Each structure stands twice: as C-alpha cells, then as structure tokens.
Amino acid sequence: MNEKRMIEEEKHYEEVIAEESICINDNLVYEKPDTLLDTPMHYCPGCGHGVAHRLIAEAIDELDIQEDTIGVAPVGCSVFAYNYLNIDMSEAAHGRASAVATGIKRVLPEKYVFSYQGDGDLAAIGTGETLHTCNRGENILIVFINNGIYGMTGGQMAPTTLEGMKSTTTPFGRDVKIMGNPLKITELIAQLPGVYYCTRVAVNNPKNVRRAKKAILNGFQYQKREKGLSFVEIVSNCPSNWKMTPVESNKWMEENMFSFYPLGDLKVPEKEDE
Amino acid sequence: MKKELKLMKGNEAMAEAAIRAGADAYFGYPITPQSEVLEYLTNFAYQKTGMVILQAESEIAAINMIYGAAGAGKKVMTSSSSPGISLMQEGISYIACAELPCLLVNVVRGGPGLGTIQPSQGDYYQSVKGGGHGDYKMIVLAPSTVQEMVDYVKLGFDLAFKWRNPVMMLTDGALGQMMEKVELFEQLPRETVNGIEKWATIGKTKDRERNVITSLHIQPDKMEEINLHLQAKYKKIEEEEIRFEEFAMEDAEYMITAFGLVARICQKAAMLAREKGFKVGVFRPQTLFPFPYKQIDSYTKQIKGILDVEMNAGQMVEDIRLAVNGKVPVEFHGRMGGVVPSPEEILEKIEEKFVGVPA
Ligand SMILES: Cc1ncc(C[n+]2csc(CCOP(=O)(O)OP(=O)(O)O)c2C)c(N)n1
Ligand code: SF4
Ligand SMILES: [Mg+2]
C-alpha cells in the first residue's frame, strides 16, 4: 500500500470515528492486545502469521503473564516476531528455536517459554531439535505454522508441501517418488510420551480463530502443570508464494490442506488432569 | 569448601571448576576425549549447587541451548572436541553477534575428518580466525596445565561477562586426559551477574523496554554499525586482555614459541639446549585472541631466530610471522595426527635450524 493512500485512509477512518463516536467504552468489543506492539507488521496481506501473533498476544494478556513470558522467534517469515510482541524475546538460528527455548526454560523454569516456528524451520532443518525437545517433554509451548512452503526464501518446497503442489523447486508439482511424501510431523510428535498436549488448528475463519486461541491458551496454562510439552500446529497460508489472493488461498487451504492435515486434537490431557 | 589440593584428570578438574565457579548450566554431547566433563557433572553438579546439566541430542542442539540460556543471563558452559566444535560454528557466530557471555571448551583431537582421538592443536585457525561466518572474535584461552584448565574456567566466565563475548578454552586431548595435582578454588555462590536485566531475556518488567536477543539487522547501515561496535570491542580486548608466559627469556638468543601443552615440552627442550650451551627461551601465548604480537615483536632486537612448535601443520606460526614481520627468521616444527613432539626432537630442530647460522 503506498504512503499517500495510507494517509488518505487514515484520514477517512478518523472522520468516520469522529462522526459516529463508536469508540466509547460501552461499545468496545475489540481492541489491540497490550502485548501486541504498534509496529506495522511486515507480513503480506492475508497471511496467517499476523493472526497467529495476535492470538499469542491475546492469550498472554488474558493470562496476565506478560512479565513472565519469553518467546523464541525462528528463521522464516516470522523472524521478526520479536518486533511485534511486547515481551522479552530471543531470535534463534534456523531450526534451533526449540533448543534455544530449552536453554531458556531449563535455567528459568518458573517462566513461560514458547517457540514460534515455520514448517521448514521445525520440520526440515530443525527436525532433530523438534523431536528431542518434544521427547524430553520440555515444559514449553511450540506454535508451529504450517503453510506448506518456504515463505521467507521465496516459495521453495517445504517438508509439508502437498503432493502435486507447485513451488519454485517443484515447478511441476511435488513428485513424491523423487521428493518423498509431505511430512505429518505433528502426528509423529503426538506419539511421544513427553508431549502433554498436541493439536492442529487453523486461522481461516472466526470459528477456527477462536479454537486456535483456545489451543494457545491451553498451551500456556499446561506449562504450569509441568507435565510436558504443548504442541499447537496452525495450518496456515502463504498467499504470496502460493500465488493466490488471500481469499483464494484460504479456499485452497480448506479444500487441499485440511484433508491431508485434518484439524482437531491429536492428544489431550487425561480426564483426571483436567 | 576451602582451597583444596587434589590429583585430578584435566577434564574432571575442569568440570569441578565449573561447579565451583558457580556455573548455572552445562549443555553438551559426548565425544572423546572429553566425555568425562559431562559424566563428572551429571554425577556431582546438581547435587552440589543445583546447576542444570543436560545431555543434548547433538552439538548443534547444545550450542543453541547455550545461546538460549546465555541469553537469559546465566553462567553457561559447553565442552566438546573438534568435530563437535565444527558443528557448533553457526551457533557460535550467532552468540558472538548477539554478544552473549558463555564458556566453550574444545578438547582438541587430531583431524581433519573423524581423525583420531589423540591430542592435537589443529583447531587454532578455527578458534582464532573465525570458524563460523562473519567478522567475529572469541576470547581464546590456551592452558598448558591441568591447573590452568581449572583457573581458566573461572577466568573464562569473568571475561565472558566482562566483555559479553564467548570465551573459548582451547585445550587438547592429552591435557584433558592427564592427571596432575591441582589447587581448586573455593566454592563460589551461584548468583545473578549484575546488570543482566539490561539485555537478558528474563521476563519484561513494567519498568523497562523489552529485551531482544538477536543477530539479525537487515538494514546494511545498522549491520555495519553492529560490526563496528564489535570491532571496537575486540580492539579494547586486545588492549586489555593479552596474557602470556615467558620461560628463560632474559638472556635468550633463540626463542621457541608454542601454546598449550607443547609449550611445556618446549621448556624441557630449552633446558636441554642450555645444557649444550645454546641460550634458548620459550614464549607461550596464554591468550590466542588477543594475541601478543607486540610482546613477541619486542624480542626481535634480542634474539637471532624463532622456532615455532605446534601439534598441527603450522597455524599459530602465521601470527608469529606477522608479529616479527621478517625481522628475524621464523622456523616451524609440527607434528600432526595425534603425535606429540618430544623435547629431544625439538632440540634437534633447534640445532638443525639455528646452530651455525650466522646472526
Ligand atoms: C542455516 C540456514 N539455512 C538456510 C537459511 C535460509 N532460510 C531462511 S528461512 C528458510 C525457510 C523458512 O521457511 P519456513 O520455516 O516454512 O517459514 P515461513 O517463511 O514459511 O513462515 C530458509 C531455508 C538460513 N537462514 N539458515
Ligand atoms: S511470504 Fe507467505 S508466509 Fe511470508 S509473509 Fe508473505 S504470505 Fe506470509
Ligand atoms: Mg513455511
């Protein structure tokens, strides 16, 4: 969006707000979470990362754990996650966010620690760290953004890229005979005894956004119980590298991603734990 | 616990020193010839001080755990041997750029490749000249005795926090495995280092801005600024932290340069040479970065030549040559693949290279 248009739009909204005076406390149904900074996000329009960040910020606000939460950003499009969340954060080398989170949590066990990682980060270069962090049952939350592609580097194949799906390195569609099948890492992780909670959500519509938020809230709350790791996969989109509009990308995700990566809980705490 | 005299293996003495220095955590992965460090710590550390010990799934995981825990302002340490240290290089570069204090130990074995588990000094370049990507420096300490391995743990933590920089102790498989008498310093409390709340990720309190640990600055101007800041820091380290030891240098006509264990063998060789009437001394850099260039150069008026001895193909010798800048001849003798040179063969080299050579 160019600067002139931004200024015009801002003026327009100011006028609307002034006219209708809708922003009075009684009418307030939606506001920016405290934990979300004002920094304009660098994400492409319609990208799931922004929504996911907001949900994390909301969860931190609601649990009132801003002073006690430390986040770890990956290498990927969300490398700048620390620019948007008003908490102490550490950037990690590509794939190593869960090891960095382990290091932090082990020396600050009373703090809430989470890592936020893309599919290339978590399920390709960082698979070893991911599996072992989960297997050790580190008391952390891992938020896993699966958009089936390497967003940051310009749309190469990810471990999660669907069969037949085009990317810059699978220009004719992913051929599983050559590149193997897309990796359902969340299903693998759910098997590990160290994992306390494992779920797959999405942020494509309001209902799913609410579910995703609940999952993130769960993940933070379970850290208190010291029973193991919480793993929240968010099936997401990448309109830019999928070469679709935001609306098309959500539709494509619903029609293609959800059948291979079905939404729902893969592991929930036993009844007596609840 | 008071000061204590003990007969200890280098690796175990170093581990005990980490506990006594009040270290908060150790993350590591087994590799010969230094696995005793992790073994010793898992046996004693938690019980003694509550120190966190974790066997990582790889050296890559270990160095990134170090990055996380160092970023949280804690006194953290890892150790490994050559191939493992190679795996850590990306992480070390991140740590250096993010200016995180930590102590890394390389108990060097012979390479390249899987090489041998016998001692070597083949990782001098890797430790001193980079290893990982980008323009960064570690402070590199080279002990020559088990006692120094103990003392440098404490010194290493102090320097790491003083400069907010990774410190590498570059030792070798022989020192790690040999038993010597050591004086252990008394147990220090585990306590939070002053001032870490200015940068560490410990939970953002209301009275301050959030702390971010990162090495990413995509604007070239900003990244250059960070680089200039690091270079200025390294320059100050060069001004303040050079350490070296001289042996029989007062009247020496020939100088042997060597670091680590080899320097001790060279001292023996110098004594043998003096018995034969050749005035030989030994200059041992204790810090490999910062390197004592000036101190070595200052001897060029006094000496006729230098023999540099290393357990590698000739790595530190390049810095010796830079130091003396052609003013005196610099010869080299090296053994590789885990072979330790003997005093006799070093003496032979002195005679071969210098005796009868006109000044
Ligand atoms: C060691 C290393 N290898 C490769 C890269 C390049 N790289 C940066 S991000 C990325 C992929 C990111 O994809 P993903 O984790 O799926 O995140 P997304 O951008 O899709 O959110 C790669 C390969 C790097 N920064 N470091
Ligand atoms: S490239 Fe894709 S993942 Fe990255 S911000 Fe744009 S839409 Fe999101
Ligand atoms: Mg991705």
Task: Give the CATH number for residue A41.
Answer: 3.40.50.970
The closest alpha carbon to B91, from A104, A96, A78, A125, belongs to A96
| H or E element at residue A231 | strand A229-235
Cβ separation A66–B204 shorter than 8 A: yes
Rounded Cα gap, residues A142 and A119, in angstroms: 12
Considering only CB atoms, which residues of chain B are within 8 Å of chain A? 24-25, 27, 52, 54, 56-58, 60-62, 64-72, 74, 76, 90-91, 94, 98, 200-206, 210-216
Dihedrals phi, psi of B77, to nearest 5 degrees: -150, 150
A127 burial via Cβ count (<10 Å: 0-12, 13-18, 19+) = middle
A75 lines ligand 1 (CB under 6 A): yes
The count of CB pairs under 8 A between chains A and B is 126
A150 lines ligand 1 (CB under 6 A): yes
> Which residue spans within chain B are E strands per DSSP?
4-9, 25-28, 52-55, 76-80, 102-108, 139-141, 166-172, 179-184, 212-213, 244-247, 254-257, 280-285, 287-289, 305-310, 330-334
Residue type, A184: K
A121 lines ligand 1 (CB under 6 A): yes
Within 6 Å (CB) of ligand 2, which residues are found? A 43-44, 47, 49, 77, 147, 151, 238-241
Domain B245-354 has CATH 3.40.309.10: no
In a domain, A17, yes or no: no
The closest alpha carbon to B69, from A113, A205, A165, belongs to A113
A48 lines ligand 1 (CB under 6 A): no
- Which residues of chain B neighbour A87 with C-beta distances below 8 Å? 203-204, 210
* Three-class DSSP category at B218: coil
Average the pLDDT over A191-205 and give the result: 98
The confidence score (pLDDT) of residue A5 equals 52
The domain limits of chain B are 4-203+227-240, 245-354
The confidence score (pLDDT) of residue A22 equals 59
**How many structural domains does chain A have?**
1
In a domain, A3, yes or no: no
In a domain, A207, yes or no: yes
- Protein residue closest via CA to atom 6 of ligand 1: A153
In a domain, A21, yes or no: no
Distance from CA of A36 to the nearest CA of B (A): 12
User: pTM, whole model, 2 decimals?
Assistant: 0.94
Q: b/e for A255-271, b at 16 or more Cβ within 10 A?
A: eebeeebebeebbeeee
The confidence score (pLDDT) of residue A272 equals 61
A124-159 confidence digits (pLDDT tens):
999 999 999 999 999 999 999 999 999 999 999 999
Nearest to B69 among A88, A103, A128 (CB): A103
Q: Which domain holds residue A133?
A: 33-273
Rounded Cα gap, residues A89 and A69, in angstroms: 9
List the structure tokens of B130. 């980079």
The closest alpha carbon to B139, from B115, B113, B120, B161, belongs to B161
Contacts of A233 (CB under 8 A, 6+ apart): A144, A146, A186, A199, A200, A201, A261
- The region, left, alpha or beta by phi > 0 then psi within -120 to 50, assigned to residue B78 is beta
In a domain, A8, yes or no: no
A95 lines ligand 1 (CB under 6 A): no
In a domain, A188, yes or no: yes
* Three-class DSSP category at B308: strand
In a domain, A69, yes or no: yes
Q: Decide: B140 and B128 in contact? Cβ < 8 Å.
A: yes
- Which residues of chain A neighbour B87 with C-beta distances below 8 Å? none
Domains B4-203+227-240 and B245-354 in one fold: yes
CATH number attached to the domain at B4-203+227-240: 3.40.50.970
List the structure tokens of B202. 């410990």
- Which residues of chain B neighbour A86 with C-beta distances below 8 Å? 204, 210
pLDDT in tens, chain B (359 residues): 567 999 999 999 999 999 999 999 999 999 999 999 999 999 999 999 999 999 999 999 999 999 999 999 999 999 999 999 999 999 999 999 999 999 999 999 999 999 999 999 999 999 999 899 999 999 999 999 999 999 999 999 999 999 999 999 999 999 999 999 999 999 999 999 999 999 999 999 999 999 999 999 999 999 999 999 999 999 999 999 999 999 999 999 999 999 999 999 999 999 999 999 999 999 999 999 999 999 999 999 999 999 999 999 999 999 999 999 999 999 999 999 999 999 999 999 999 998 765 44
| H or E element at residue B251 | none
A152 lines ligand 1 (CB under 6 A): yes
CA of A240 to the centre of ligand 2 (A): 6
In this prediction the ipTM stands at 0.96
In a domain, A9, yes or no: no
The confidence score (pLDDT) of residue B359 equals 43
Please identify, by atom number, the ligand 1 atom nearest to the C-alpha of residue A160: 16
- Which residues of chain A neighbour B206 with C-beta distances below 8 Å? 67
